[in-house]
Amino acid sequence: MAIFKGAGVAIATPFKANGEVNYDEFARLIEFQIENGTDAIIVCGTTGEAATMSEREHMDVVKFCIDKVAKRIPVIAGTGSNCTETAIQLSKEAEEYGADAVLSVTPYYNKATQGGLYAHFSAIAKAINIPIILYNVPSRTGCNILPETAVKLARDHKNIVGIKDATGNISQTIKMMSLAEGCIDLYSGDDDQIVPIMSVGGLGVISVLSNIAPRQTHEICQKCLDGDYATARELQFKAYPLVKALFSEVNPIPVKAALNMVGFEAGPLRLPLTEMEDANKAHLREEMIRYGLEVK
């Protein structure tokens, strides 16, 4: 059975002005997501700025999210690292806290071979019992899980069950799904490719857009799941300008600005990320209003 179907939010982590995690606002954001139909929460991923958290802080945020959600929807913990032992440690801890699954990104910077990727993810899979979703985002990591490697991992390890595909390469995605013959669940890692990915067998999206438009993102996915691709396509087209604005600077710079605009106290970013440029922020605001969001 799939961990989730539909729109899973790659949730942002609110910070206070002094840089500490704002747990009160994080709790508010979690409740907003659940109340508005989000199908799963992915905590401490790229959008959650896990890369600038200490390991202890990272896992404190994961535990807080798991406890707050309290099994109402699945919680998937980002536990990837470019150090295999660290990824194992974080994944074990997430399992102990009650995570429904982990999201494990390809080892960034190291640029492992396909054999290295297989060994890395195999070691994690052997160390935990909960499901693993692989995260393939070559533009950020410099490393690409090829279709053959993803399928071999899913076939050789029963708890490697899915992949977040943020390659932007639909040809590679189709090849993977044709080789997989149903052995791996596919999720779009890009909000502008929800419908294309779901049309070739994807079950949903791990979404940045969902932070500010959870119900709308869920609806795109649900129409696909219902087989109503005509409506899903129109909803995808409607969201496209806003999605592009949300990626006009590196994620999560724009989405944190957007959260602040809709009334959340998402707070600042942690260096080396900086605040959004004024021109891009003005354009983002315009697209949010055009999309029908209430902006403060």
Do residues 252 and 208 touch, judged by C-beta distance below 8 A?
Answer: yes
Residue 196: is the preceding peptide bond cis (ω within 30°)? no
CB atoms inside a 10 Å sphere around CB 252? 25
d(CA 236, CA 193): 8
- 108 in catalytic set: no
d(CA 122, CA 93): 18
Do residues 209 and 252 touch, judged by C-beta distance below 8 A?
Answer: no
DSSP state for residue 276 in the 8-state scheme: P
Q: Which of 152, 164, 223, 256 is catalytic?
A: 164
* Helices and strands counted in the chain (H then E): 12, 8
State residue 97 phi and psi, 5-degree precision.
-80, -15
Report how far apart, in Å, the C-alpha atoms of 219 and of each of 3, 205, 223, 228 are.
18, 11, 6, 11
3-state helix, strand, coil in the chain (%, to 5): 50, 15, 35
d(CA 110, CA 50): 18
- 175 in catalytic set: no
d(CA 130, CA 75): 12
Nearest CA among 36, 35, 40, 31 for reference residue 3: 40
Report how far apart, in Å, the C-alpha atoms of 184 and of each of 114, 133, 159, 160, 225 are.
18, 9, 10, 8, 17
Estimate the crossing angle of helix 278-291 against helix 253-261, to 10 degrees: 60
Token pair for 237 = 């087209």
Q: Which of 68, 118, 135, 281 is catalytic?
A: 135
Give the residue numbers marked as catalytic: 135, 164
